Amino acid sequence: MVFLSYLFVLPVTLLVAEVALLIGATTLAGVSAVITFGLGLITVPIAAVAQGYHRAPDALSPTTAVVWHLTSQLWDVGDRVVLEQRRCRLRSCMQRSDRPFALPRRAVFVFTADPADAHVRGNVTRSRARYLYRLDISDTYGQVFQRGIAVAIAGNVHATVSARRTLTATDVPTP
């Protein structure tokens, strides 16, 4: 919503600035430029607050210790695995809603429920097989954040594989 309003306000203020410069109203042009610059500065923090991950220390309580994780690594059922924060993709960064000006951080992402097609579609690319694992978490090291069914752990996760499902690009419906 913030982005859409910015897309409307930006062209209008730039148009006002151009017209003001053409007719010689430098004060109006200056005010329009300040508004445009101000909107540019606050758009990212507002989006981070609205759509960022919220702190949720109880998101992975003992009753919800079963989570789902998408990866290209091949594990067998019964394997003990460590999901390492430093091995996560650079694109897989978490923006915290309580610190909108902080840089995004790498995190281990899991789902508290079987992920929907939209989540899977974002992780299955170029016909590479990806695996959807059901994991029993034994330990987490780091703060826990949540946005919907997606949980981001700013640290390593120790878990045991309880089930595996293979996903390919052809298995995932397009939007």
pLDDT by 10s per residue, the chain, length 175: 445 555 666 677 677 777 777 777 777 767 777 777 776 666 666 666 666 777 877 766 655 668 888 888 889 999 999 988 887 776 667 777 777 777 778 888 888 887 766 666 555 555 565 788 999 988 888 888 888 888 888 888 899 999 998 876 555 555 5
Q: Where are the beta strands (DSSP E) in 4-114?
A: 54-55, 66-71, 80-83, 93-94, 105-106, 108-111
**Spatial CB neighbours of 69, under 8 Å, sequence gap ≥ 6:** 83, 109, 110, 111, 132, 133, 135, 159
Predicted TM-score of the model (pTM)? 0.65
